[in-house]
Amino acid sequence: MTDTRDLFAAVPRSAFETPGTSRGLIDVVRWRYLLNLLVRTGVTTRYRNSVLGWTWSYVRPAAQFLVFWVVLGLFMNLDRGIPNYAVYLFSGIVVINLFSEAFKNATTSIVGNAPLVRKVFLPRQLFAVSAVIVAFVHFLPQVGLLLIVCLLLGWITQISILSILAILAGMLIVMLFALGLGLFFGAINVRFRDAENIVELLLLLATWASPVLYAWTQVQDAVVDRLGWPQWVVELYMLNPITQGVELFHYAFWRPVTETTFALPPDLAWNTLWTFLIAVGTLLVGQTVFRRLEGRFAQDL
């Protein structure tokens, strides 16, 4: 009988891996079966034992839209100068909802899966990535509702290749940005639960810090004309990846169905490239912080 120790002795040490090591986001691809399982679990369990089930994916954004439209559009006249304000508002809300759910769920993904993290080795980034994908799945019914409204308004006759590319670019930028922030705050949240409160505050500001309820031209008028601040403040505002995602959805959904004299945001194409690079940079920073802290996740949990 052959001694198994002799078989292992013939294998060079470089062929062995140190237990518990991770290659970061690359392992998400290698463990795609488990990623698929986590996504399916997240999607199927969200509305378990719910009477309305997936209908909530339509009800909640619709209720959110009605509150903003009635209070801000009708009562406060924030829709002044913005034609077809309902489509403008809803096309921004769906982007904010995608970012909010992806960012929040990615932040709490490690703590929420503490039993697995403590007992089993697996790439911890899987939890954050699956949270973002689940948020994207729940985002699709909202986009479907927006698309139906736009089709009724003649969107199909005005659509172009650039509009389709704008939709894809907007989703990609927002999801990468949310994942990067989610990895960063998710790693910190394991040790310091204050991170969840910081994220809640950031999400509260996200809706108001992007041109969802108002037009970007109102920011230009307020910052440059009334306050007298330099133009670069507006340019910095436009480089917010969430702002760019909202404007890309406005370009893709609102402008084709609206007769408007609103000028396009300055350097929309270049800002798409720059905000994509910012989102990728955020992802790299979040991944670096995550990998530095993940070695203590099991102990801290």
pLDDT in tens, 137-153: 989 988 988 888 888 88
pLDDT at 8 over 60: no
Which among 98, 125, 130, 174 has a CA at the least distance from the CA of 289? 125
pLDDT tens, position by position, 243-255: 999 999 999 999 8
Q: How many residues in total does the chain contain?
A: 301
Q: What is the mean pLDDT of residues 25-54?
A: 74
Side-chain-side CA neighbours of 48 within 13 Å: the count stands at 7
pLDDT score of 48: 67
pLDDT digits (tens, 9 = 90+) for 102-121: 999 999 988 888 787 777 77
pLDDT per residue as tens digits for the range 245-285 = 999 999 999 988 887 777 788 888 999 999 999 999 999 99
169-182, pLDDT tens digit by residue? Answer: 999 999 999 999 99
Q: Which two tokens stand for residue 232?
A: 């670069």
Residue 12 has pLDDT above 70, yes or no: no
* Per-residue pLDDT band at 166 (split at 50, 70, 90): very high
pLDDT at 67: 74
Q: Regarding predicted confidence, which is higher, 39 or 72?
A: 39
Tell me the C-alpha distance between 291 and 281, whole Å.
Answer: 15
pLDDT band at residue 213, thresholds of 50, 70 and 90?
Answer: confident
Say which residue, 82 or 135, is predicted with more confidence.
Answer: 135
pLDDT attached to residue 4: 57
Answer whether residue 99 shows pLDDT above 90: yes
> Greater confidence, 25 or 134?
134
Residue 3 — very low, low, confident or very high, per pLDDT cuts 50/70/90? low
User: Which tokens belong to 271?
Assistant: 């800002």
DSSP-derived secondary structure letter, 14? G
Per-residue pLDDT for 68 more than 90? no
| Residue type for position 270 | W
Q: Is the dihedral of CA 257, 259, 265, 267 positive or negative?
A: positive
Q: Is 88 helix (H, G, I), strand (E, B) or coil?
A: helix
Nearest-angstrom CA–CA distance, 28 and 130? 9
Position 204: which residue type? Answer: L
Which residues are CB-neighbours of 246 under 8 A, at least 6 positions away? 91, 92, 95, 96, 170, 210, 211, 212
Task: Give the mean pLDDT of 59-67.
Answer: 72
| 25, burial (CB in 10 Å: exposed 0-12, middle 13-18, buried 19+) | buried
